[in-house]
Structure formats: structure tokens, C-alpha cells
Amino acid sequence: MKIGICCDHAGVEYKTKLISYLLGKGYEVINFGTDSSDSMDYPDVAHPLAEAVENGEVDLGIAFCGTGNGMAMCLNHHPGIRAGLAWNTEVGKLVKEHNNANVLVMPARFISYNMVTSIVRAWLNTEFAGGRHQRRIDKIPVK
């Protein structure tokens, strides 16, 4: 499985550690940046990640920013993206099980790195439940 990953300046440390973690688990990882703690604009990395998920260049995406909200808002402007913001393991599981999130977003300034790996494991190991949840996802796009 190929995973795209991006962050703004607030998430560089966690992104760097998570890339090593994912590679160690056998995932292929594409880094969309940033790789510096210098202030930058999250849309500059969020849009390329979203496009890679939409066009199948990567299977799933992971993104970090300070609160996670900026990334989630930007990513969810893409019609093929369902970015779920998770701050604990249960939410990480539910954004996949109920919302079939194809991008996981986490708030780098508000969770520990141990929580990051716990959330990522839960999200990657959870299957989408389908059923009533698919009906709800089908209603997301504005007609």
C-alpha cells in the first residue's frame, strides 16, 4: 500500500518519525512536504496530496498541521477526498469505519507521538462498515 503524507511547519517532527514508522511496517510512502519548521502555508502541501489520492498515485493520505483543521478544510475541498480529523484512537477508527476517510488528519500541537502511531494503526486496520454509512457518504457532494 502506498501512503502520501504531508504537513505544515507544526507537523514536521511527527511526519518525519511517522515516515520511518510506516516504512518499517512495509508501507511505501510519498512525502509531499514540508520538511522544514519554517512557517509555510498548508494548502501548498495539502492540494498536491489530495490530487495524488484522487488520481490514484497513492492509496491513502496522512496530514498534520497545528490543529488539523486547516489541513482538513483544505483537503475536503477536493471532491474525491474524505479527510477525517482524529485526536484519539477511537476517532481514528471511526473516521474509517463510518466515514471511509481516505485521508487521516491529526493535530500535531495537541497530541503525543505515541497517540499518532496509535491513531494511524487504528485507522489503517479498520474496515469501512458500509451500509447506512455509505448512504450518508453518498449525500456529501453538493449537487
Cell numbers for 76, please give them. 475536503
Buried b or exposed e, range 87-116, using 16+ CB within 10 angstroms? bebebbbbbbbbbbbbbbbbbbeebeeebb
Q: Does 65 qualify as catalytic in the annotation?
A: yes
- The active-site residue, picked from 9, 47, 78, 98, is 98
Element housing 85 (H / E)? strand 83-85
- The active-site residue, picked from 6, 7, 65, 74, is 65
Q: Does 98 qualify as catalytic in the annotation?
A: yes
Dihedral angle of Cα 78, 18, 59, 85, to the nearest 10 degrees: -40
Active site amino acids: 65, 98
